[in-house]
A and B are shown apart, each in its own frame.
Chain A
Amino acid sequence: MTTLTGYIDGIGLLGPGLADWPAARAVLAGEAPYQYATTQLPAPAALPPAERRRCGPIVKLSLAIGYEAAGAAGLDVSTLPTVFSASGGDGGNCHEICQMLASDDRQISPTRFHNSVHNAAAGYWSIAARAMAPSSVLCAYDASFGAGLLEALAQVTVDNTTTLLIAADTTYPEPLRKTRPIPDEFGIALALSPAASGRTLARIRGSKVEAEPDQLPNPALEQLRQSVPAARGLPLLRAVARRESARLVLDYLDATRLAVEVTPCA
């Protein structure tokens, strides 16, 4: 099977009890205890005021982790291609639309409608970052992290470009929550380059495999991994945090998984 190679130059992370990548790195490396706390989404300062008011949680989460990863990698966001992968869109917005469409007053607002597209986060990102570079916007349900990683590595390999992977998931309110129980907002962003640099944290080599996915030793984090698609990438980040050479298996589509060889660089 073909192997795709990329270099992680920056990481962004935000989730319950994990305020950013430095905090998550310490937890994943075993240097700090994991304590659950509801995800706090920062206001997206990079957006113009009108867009800042209109955007939903998936946009705030995606922008927060995207800027963190790009900043750590020292990248100019205005020229950076992006891969957005999310298992769903703005859940609250979707609920409001469906509720209105089932009522006598079906006049949904223009903002609700444009926020309903799966590429809302990518659209707001391009406005915030003034980025005219392309954006690939993906969904693969529970396999969304793996799909995003494959797409990003293919861009790095084939287009010989640095790219920014933003994998993020947000919650649905009831009644959709029962049918799609994502417990909290969580996202991982990776700045991936075709060659090593002074900022490179690790080299990764990905390929498809049929094997059992790696689990996380911490039960609460393992629970997170299993319940949020974007968190399926946590075993990779754990290896980076622990600065260890590892061959691990990430969850992807049913029996098809991604084998990732991680080699620390810095």
Chain B
Amino acid sequence: MKPLFLSHFTATSCIGRGLFQTLQALRQRKSGLTHCDFDTVDLDTYIGVVPGLDAVPMRAGMQAYDCRNNRLLQVALEQDGFADAVQAAIAKHGRDRVGIFLGTSTSGILQTELAYRERDSVTGDLPASFNYRTTHSTFSAADFARAYFGLTGPAVVISSACSSSAKVFASARRMIEAGVIDAALVGGVDTLCLTTLYGFNSLQLTSTQPCRPFDANRTGISIGEAAALALLERVPSSLDADAVLLTGIGESSDAYHMSSPHPEGLGAQIAMQQALTTAGLTSGQIDYINLHGTATPSNDASEGKAVVAVFGSDTPCSSTKGATGHTLGAAGGMEAVICALALQHGFMPGGLNTTQVDPTLPLNYLLENRDQRIQRVLSNSFGFGGTNCSIILCRAN
């Protein structure tokens, strides 16, 4: 594939608002996970909360979109000069030549969950203030971004559970390569809600401790929330040495089970292999793998086997979900930003909370940060429904 340039990127999660705080937390190996005190949730589990979202006022004219998910998206857009960068891209390419591709799994469903507590006792109606289109709808985040920037080009939400904001890179790439657009606002946003907390709990997939990816005694996920964004453009003729490029993408389906991964990670293998092929790389040329690493027993086992099958046991790898929690539809975007920081700042983030790496999964799993210049990284994102996506990011030089 023709590489694309991540001209700007930003992320906001429980480990920080914007790149500076995010990088600092990764460098200092700080986890953002805390015991669950979200809303009225009575589960014994850990979560990754972005503080202060309840108090975020929506920008003038955007009040109709007010919900936790769009509040977080607005906060993220306004970090690191990202919104200014989008405006500059619009000025350069035109309003109709900048596309929007955002991933989310649950969008603003929290708004509907809350509205169901306030149904009219006689008619059963939802409160008049409830707005399906601007909050609950899966499209709401992209619709918000479209209105925020006044864009008239293609806009879409990709919603394939926990691969959503990795898959956005694939759709945006096709649209840029087809010549429909010149730049794409890509990324993901997902926020805490009762559906995912009680849903993952029903599957016995939430841990009572901060999640421990790839630990021999891992017991499940910690759900987090995040928004991560990138501006994708064609590669310009001259680039800074530490510019980050998207050079490979692989996508596949498991065709196995709705909520369990293929035991040998067959779909994951296909996605990773295809990412290498589209990047024109061999597995030995990847310096670091950011694993999906959710910390459920079956997910990590499946991914571990798949990584060994494609890469062998030497490639340094880790999951950063011990820091951020599993941010679901935002995970692919969040981890792409973490990979971009790792490439620019020359380090590999060691996994947090894990003490004893699962001896049945022979990986070079990093438990400490490693300071080392790295050139090429691969990031995995897999989801319910057996959806898999791997992306490869590289330094320009």
Contact = CB atoms under 8 A, between A and B. Distances in A.
Contact of B125 (A89, A159, A178): A178
A132 B174 contact: no
Contact of A120 (B173, B175, B257, B258): B258
A54 B385 CA distance: 13
A19 interface: no
Contacts of A87: 137, 139
Interface stretch (A30-38, A99-107, A231-239): A99-107
Interface in B244-284: 251-259, 266-267, 270
Interface stretch (B21-29, B57-65, B112-120, B214-222): B112-120
Contact of A256 (B117, B125, B153, B384): B153
Contact of B177 (A88, A133, A158): A158
Contacts of B200: 113
Given A138-B159, A178-B126, A151 B195 contact: no
Contact of B255 (A94, A120, A130): A130
B276 to A, nearest CB: 16
A106 B198 contact: yes
Contacts of B119: 102, 175
Interface in B302-354: none
Contacts of B137: 87-88, 139, 141, 180
Nearest to B328: A117
B126 A176 contact: yes
Contacts of B161: 117-119
A138 B156 contact: yes
Contact of A122 (B155, B173, B253): B253
A107 B143 CA distance: 32
> Interface majority SS on B: helix, strand, loop or mixed?
mixed
Interface string B105-124: 10001001101110100011
A139 B159 contact: yes
A143 B125 CA distance: 27
Given A89-B138, A157-B178, A158-B177, A138 B199 contact: no
B154 A147 contact: yes
B178 A127 contact: no
Interface in B366-392: 383-387
Given A2-B180, A113-B202, A132 B254 contact: yes
16 contacts: A106-B194, A108-B198, A113-B195, A114-B259, A114-B384, A122-B387, A132-B267, A132-B270, A137-B158, A137-B167, A137-B387, A140-B157, A141-B137, A158-B174, A179-B131, A208-B153
Given A110-B203, A113-B203, 8 more contacts: A1-B180, A112-B202, A133-B252, A138-B171, A140-B156, A141-B138, A147-B156, A253-B152
Interface of B: 96, 105, 109, 112-113, 115-117, 119, 123-126, 130-133, 137-140, 142-143, 146, 152-161, 167, 170-171, 173-175, 177-180, 194-195, 198-200, 202-203, 251-259, 266-267, 270, 383-387
